[in-house]
């Protein structure tokens, strides 16, 4: 199914055009319901379609958030002497575009088995129907989100070690993932005061002044109070 971003090559109407773009009557049955168990608000803007602004509140598995989405349209101006042609996009296309555009490219997301807990169902439904009639889809979204969370936690462990325990390297969603999966033993989950990085006098690379050894050139900062206690294997 085509992504709505494919329509960005459509020429805009000339600035001098006085033509007023009015949508044709919409099909009242053309609706989908977006469901989110993602713990953050989602705001998506599609500049090439109307309506093109969509907001979904933060949700959870126990309290999923929903947004009813209808059809949207874009206009193609083939001839300045003729009215612009309205090209309607179904609610399915719009819903797919919202999810794909938001999730695609997120760290560790593969849009298949690991992704934020977002999906849509046909028609207009309420939260109770989502938790009962569409429980299977809700459970699938939970599994995909948890798989994504596990990947984020593994990534956090890796960069925590590679950055000399720098809290600035940990993404907020990594901490959210650890809390959601009760991985409370993770050291990087604690509330850290942002460390001010300073240049190493030996190589110039940024280093955490709380540690006596530069991770890049291995130079020891003899002014650090821990430097005198360092012991090295022979």
pLDDT value, residue 69: 97
More confident residue, 155 or 27: 155
Query: How much is the average pLDDT of 29-47?
Result: 95
For residue 20, pLDDT over 70 is answered with: no
Rounded to the nearest integer, the mean pLDDT of the chain is: 85
Provide the β-strand partners of residue 33: 68, 121
Query: How much is the average pLDDT of 7-16?
Result: 42
Task: Report whether 30 contacts 91 (CB < 8 A).
Answer: yes
- Residue 112 CA, chain-centre distance (Å), reads 15
Element containing residue 150 per DSSP (H, E)? helix 135-162
Terminal Cα-to-Cα distance of the chain (whole angstroms): 63
pLDDT value, residue 137: 97
For residue 73, pLDDT over 70 is answered with: yes
For residue 149, pLDDT over 60 is answered with: yes
d(CA 35, CA 58): 10
pLDDT value, residue 15: 44
């Amino acid at each position: 199914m085509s992504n709505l971003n494919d329509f960005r090559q459509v020429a805009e109407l000339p600035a001098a055009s006085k033509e007023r773009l009015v949508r044709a009557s919409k099909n009242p049955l053309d609706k989908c319901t977006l469901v989110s168990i993602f713990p953050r608000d989602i705001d998506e803007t599609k500049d090439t379609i109307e309506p093109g602004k969509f907001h979904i509140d933060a949700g959870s598995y126990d309290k999923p958030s929903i947004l009813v989405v209808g059809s949207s349209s874009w206009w193609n101006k083939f001839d300045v002497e003729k009215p612009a042609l309205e090209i309607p996009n179904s609610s399915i296309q719009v819903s797919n575009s919202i999810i794909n555009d938001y999730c695609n490219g997120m760290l560790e997301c593969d849009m298949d088995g690991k992704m934020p807990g977002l999906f849509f169902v046909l028609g207009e439904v309420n939260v109770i129907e989502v938790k009962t009639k569409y429980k299977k889809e809700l459970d699938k979204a939970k599994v995909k989100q948890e798989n994504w969370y596990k990947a984020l936690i593994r990534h956090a462990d890796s960069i925590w070690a590679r950055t000399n325990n720098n809290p600035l390297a940990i993404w907020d969603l990594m901490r959210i993932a650890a809390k959601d999966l009760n991985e409370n033993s993770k050291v990087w989950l604690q509330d850290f005061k942002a460390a001010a990085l300073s240049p190493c006098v030996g190589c110039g690379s940024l280093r955490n002044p709380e540690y006596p050894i530069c991770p890049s050139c291995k130079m020891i900062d003899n002014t650090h109070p821990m430097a005198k206690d360092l012991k090295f294997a022979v």
